[in-house]
């Protein structure tokens, strides 16, 4: 394993697709920061976020 992949055991790549104004950025912000953004203008283009989460078994870590 290289040093980047040793930080986590599993990697999940998630893509949110939908019409403009349906709340994709709000879902992403809620998952990443734990709260909804206030008065966020529409996102034009692409938005990325990364979060590392320990699994319930206490031994594994997943990067989403």
Q: If you write DSSP's letter for every residue of 4-62 in order, what string do you get?
A: TGGG-SEE--------TTSSHHHHHHHHHHSSPPSSPPPP-S------EEE-TTSS-EE
pLDDT digits (tens, 9 = 90+) for 2-60: 445 578 999 999 999 988 888 888 888 888 888 877 777 777 888 888 999 999 998 99
Q: What is the pTM of this model?
A: 0.65
What is the C-alpha separation between 41 and 52, in angstroms, rounded? 27
pLDDT at 5: 52
pLDDT at 4: 52
């Amino acid at each position: 394993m290289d040093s980047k992949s040793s930080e986590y055991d599993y990697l999940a790549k998630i893509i949110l697709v939908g019409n403009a104004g349906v709340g994709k950025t709000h879902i992403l912000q809620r998952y990443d920061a734990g709260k909804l953004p206030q008065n966020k203008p529409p996102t034009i283009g692409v938005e990325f976020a990364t979060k590392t989460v320990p699994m319930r078994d206490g031994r594994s870590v997943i990067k989403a």
